[in-house]
Amino acid sequence: NQVTNTTIKMTNGLRVTGTTGPKKAAKAAATTGKSARYYPADDVPKAKHSRSKKQNAPKVRGSFTPGTVCILLSGRFRGKRVVCLKALESGLLLVTGPYKINGVPLRRVNQAYVIGTSTKVDVSGVDVSSITDAYFARAAAKSADGEEGFFANDAAKPAVVSDQRKADQKKVDAAVLKAVEATPLLKNYLGSNFTLGKHDRPHKMAF
């Protein structure tokens, strides 16, 4: 049994009407401003945070709808204007250049680094139902065994685009290009880069 100050006085013949016990003693010490006299003999393990709980679906900004012309702010294609096709389950946006106009292929982009404009493209005839997050998963690279093989393959290998990815790119861009060419000057708009001058104020711009 843990013994507190009040129980010691009671054993000496003094009757104290105060409460006893480790939890109550700690509570009483907190009100008086003194440190608690009771300390646990062993460290009590704390329950760890569990990540098994299902997370809510990521939110997508209302300005990103299928057909919205967006401006990329990060990555190798920063400054390019692209067409948003849909939002994936991961919260990333599926966009395309089209590739023939500005060289941007089918890719996923983080909506935090994208500006949505008021320009719209009719993409109702574009079928991207088969393109999901798993579509962009990388295949496991086969590495040579042994120490010699590890140091022999230190040179960077060029990325190889599969025939399936090329076929999907042509199929999607063919439908998008029809809608782009139907709108005057839209092709030139997508082919130009977004830049800021010395005296430009982006927070006052209307996209």
Residue 38 has pLDDT above 80, yes or no: no
The token duo for 99 is 């590739």
Q: Which amino acid is at 32?
A: T
Taking the CB of residue 190, how many other CB atoms lie within 10 A of it? 21
In 3D space, the residue among 86, 175, 91 whose CA is nearest the CA of residue 131 turns out to be 86
In 3D space, the residue among 24, 34, 30, 33 whose CA is nearest the CA of residue 4 turns out to be 24
pLDDT tens-digit profile of 137-161?
A: 877 666 555 566 656 666 666 777 7
Residue 16 has pLDDT above 60, yes or no: no
Q: When comparing pLDDT for 15 and 184, which is higher?
A: 184
Cα angle 109, 113, 115 (rounded to 5 degrees) comes to: 100
pTM for this one? 0.66
pLDDT tens-digit profile of 174-188?
A: 999 999 999 999 999
Q: Which amino acid is at 59?
A: K
Secondary structure class of 80 (helix, strand, coil)? coil
Q: First CA to last CA across the chain, in angstroms?
A: 72
Confidence of residue 30 (pLDDT cuts 50, 70, 90): low
